[in-house]
Amino acid sequence: MEEIVALYAQDEVPGRVVAAVPRSRMRAENLPHAAVKILVRDVERRVYVHRRTETKDVFPGLDDAWIGGVITAGEAPDTAAVRELAEELGLRDQVLRPLAQRWYTDAHTNFLAYTYETVHDPERHGPIVHQQSEVADGWWLPWDRLMAQTAEPGSRFAPDSSELLARYATAPHPQP
């Protein structure tokens, strides 16, 4: 059975659900939806970066600094964030700090990003375990290297990842 996705009123913050459609239609028509994006840091303040699998329906094979996914119909953003961390990295019992809500739109995707940050301590939370269908590889990067890599021309980072990182870097909250 195909996943049913909540559609959101374009450019409204906070988001307002206006309909629900199959995920394939949302992608084919680039309809406005919502997604959760979680920045995973470690106790040294590095960021967990992963390579998206080649089978992803948007930005396949690119690097990404945000763990996340589409919010399904009837699902709250906080619930989706917990679900995505468990699905993609096998992380449970993480404390999630809500950040901003921002729209990201390009020719491939159109979503209201509910962004979060969490600190992963493997001694408390266990190891990261990739979901093979979503995450091809992963590694920790210091903040400065991450920002330099996302700013390089021809970067291997998904465009939404780079833009959301740039917005995060200029937001009024404790910086790395």
Within-domain flag for 176: no
User: In which domain, by residue range, is 138 found?
Assistant: 4-170
Phi, psi (deg, nearest 5) at residue 87: -65, -50
Within-domain flag for 17: yes
Q: What is the pLDDT of residues 36-94, one digit of tens each?
A: 999 999 999 999 999 999 999 999 999 999 999 999 999 999 999 999 999 999 999 99
**Number of compact structural domains in the chain:** 1
Within-domain flag for 66: yes
Residue 125's domain is classified under what CATH number?
Answer: 3.90.79.10
Token digits for 168? 């995060």
Within-domain flag for 44: yes
Within-domain flag for 175: no
